[in-house]
Amino acid sequence: MSTAAPAPTGTTAPVRTPLDVESEAFAVALAVGAVTLIVGGVLFAGTNPPIWGGVSLGVASAGSILVAGVIVAYVGYWRSRSVLGQQWRLELASWKFIVDATSVAFVHAVLAVLAAIATFLLLQRSFQGVTLDAPFTTIAMATVTALGAYWIYLSVSSITTPKLSSLLVLFMTFGTITAMATASDPAWWEYHFSQLGTFGDRSSSLFNLTLIIAGFLVTTFALYLQRDLQLLVDRGVLSRASAPRTVSIIFVIMGVMLSCVGIFPLTVSILLHNLSASGMAVTFLVLLFASPWLLKGLPGRFFLVSFGFAAALIVGAVLFYPVQYWNLTAFELVAFAIIFAWIAVFIRYISAFTEQTAPDAAPAPAVAAA
């Protein structure tokens, strides 16, 4: 008897298997590598580029990974709608899918670029003064870009709610740390966290872009969470029929506010920046404290963990003022860490609980009496 889930009503798209996705990812990597070989051959003809800096292997690879990564991610994510377990996205409105695909595509592409930058910077420090010839540089650039395209295609083809939460944490961590390490003012931390987005250079652009893309990714959670929570309502686990839509709206608001923090850095509008940052914090607290009523039916241990996060946030605020143990930057970093850690825990918990309560989930083995 087949256990494959049927395709959504009104769709005729064939179900694709993981083997199909793997074959496509390999073909995409070969195609990207071939195109990059041509581009690299033209770019590096007659030169001896360094590993990093200016027209170099590292900078050119980062650029090619960004362009190819976004395209590959869009294509892979669009095609993944016919993968088993992802067919529900075929019924999404076009604008929802565009927002969803855009956030997923840019997160993957930027993560791949940050990994490439870190790798080439490390190689540059390890082989100081070395120069490369054009053929080697071209082949290396094509190889790195093809590997990035291969990983991106596979990753976007198997997106789940827990995976989205992991991507968010990784993206925020790497993007923020990179912006800190490359900030033009090494004393930025003496002011506040938002100071990172005020220098008008590449570091500030990266910081603001990280916030904008992360905000879009948070709104993407709304689609996946609404589906997971609706399943729990349909199974009688959650007693509030309005929970899926309400939580989805709250996450959309949080995502929009987070994006606006990056869209309106302090140098653009102090008022809009502060309203966006405080609006996100308030929305998060509303969700946190309303969860026992809104998500009634979940195990009590989830709410204990949630209130533990709330207590940690309050303690962090007290240590900032009136205790003055740390400055504003430290408190903002702690607050951001707490918020995104709770989001990750919440999403993974809901996903795990959805799988556990599935009608075809295997029952727990009985324990024999002594």
Q: Are residues 105 and 168 in the same domain?
A: no
Within-domain flag for 139: yes
Burial 301-329 (b: 16+ CB within 10 A, else e): ebeeebeebbebbeebeeebeeeeeeebb
CA distance 262 to 276: 9
CA distance 143 to 36: 9
- Cα 302 versus chain centre, distance: 23
Collapsed DSSP state (helix, strand, coil) of residue 2: coil
Enumerate residues 6+ apart whose C-beta is below 8 A from 45.
134
Q: Are residues 145 and 113 in the same domain?
A: yes
Domain count, the chain: 2
Angle formed at CA 349 by CA 210 and CA 240, multiple of 5 degrees: 105
- Rounded to 10°, the helix 57-79/94-126 angle is 150
Contact 266, 204 (CB under 8 A): no
Give the per-residue pLDDT at 87: 81
Please, which residues bridge with residue 50 across strands?
131
251-to-155, 194, 246 alpha-carbon distances in Å: 23, 22, 9
The confidence band for 367, taking pLDDT boundaries of 50, 70 and 90, is very low
Within-domain flag for 88: yes
324-to-95, 310, 312 alpha-carbon distances in Å: 46, 20, 16
| Predicted confidence (pLDDT) at residue 11 exceeds the cutoff of 60 | no
CA distance 81 to 88: 7
Mean pLDDT, the chain, integer = 86
Average pLDDT over residues 185-189: 86
| Predicted confidence (pLDDT) at residue 368 exceeds the cutoff of 80 | no
Give the per-residue pLDDT at 90: 84
Q: Are residues 141 and 171 in the same domain?
A: no
Q: Are residues 210 and 308 in the same domain?
A: yes
Q: Are residues 149 and 233 in the same domain?
A: no
Domain stop point among 121, 141, 158: 158
**What are 85's two structure tokens?**
């377990």
Enumerate residues 6+ apart whose C-beta is below 8 A from 290.
none
Within-domain flag for 305: yes
pLDDT tens string 237-247: 898 999 999 99
Q: Are residues 180 and 318 in the same domain?
A: yes
Within-domain flag for 370: no
Contact 77, 155 (CB under 8 A): no
pTM of the predicted model, to two decimals? 0.80
Domain range for 340 = 160-357
CA distance 193 to 176: 10
Q: Are residues 336 and 266 in the same domain?
A: yes
The confidence band for 364, taking pLDDT boundaries of 50, 70 and 90, is very low
Give the per-residue pLDDT at 361: 53
Collapsed DSSP state (helix, strand, coil) of residue 4: coil
Within-domain flag for 274: yes
Within-domain flag for 64: yes
Give the per-residue pLDDT at 322: 85
H-run or E-run covering 302: helix 300-320
Domain stop point among 158, 177, 194: 158
Q: Are residues 147 and 291 in the same domain?
A: no
| Residue in 322, 346, 186, 176 with CA at minimum distance from that of residue 254 | 346
CA distance 331 to 338: 10
CA distance 218 to 224: 10
Contact 110, 71 (CB under 8 A): no
pLDDT tens string 87-98: 888 888 888 888
| Predicted confidence (pLDDT) at residue 173 exceeds the cutoff of 90 | no
pLDDT tens string 274-291: 899 888 888 988 898 899
| Residue in 132, 111, 159, 118 with CA at minimum distance from that of residue 55 | 132
Within-domain flag for 365: no
Q: Are residues 182 and 320 in the same domain?
A: yes
Average pLDDT over residues 68-73: 96
| Predicted confidence (pLDDT) at residue 67 exceeds the cutoff of 90 | yes
Within-domain flag for 362: no
Q: Are residues 143 and 194 in the same domain?
A: no
Please, which residues bridge with residue 16 across strands?
83
208-to-41, 70, 170, 181, 205 alpha-carbon distances in Å: 34, 19, 16, 15, 5
Give the per-residue pLDDT at 182: 83
Q: Are residues 304 and 225 in the same domain?
A: yes
pLDDT tens string 293-341: 999 988 888 889 888 988 898 898 898 888 888 888 888 888 888 888 8
Give the per-residue pLDDT at 8: 45
| Predicted confidence (pLDDT) at residue 140 exceeds the cutoff of 90 | yes
Collapsed DSSP state (helix, strand, coil) of residue 196: helix
Q: Are residues 319 and 337 in the same domain?
A: yes
Domain stop point among 158, 184, 204: 158
Q: In which residue are the tokens 């694709």 written?
A: 16
The fraction of the chain above a pLDDT of 90, given in percent, is 37
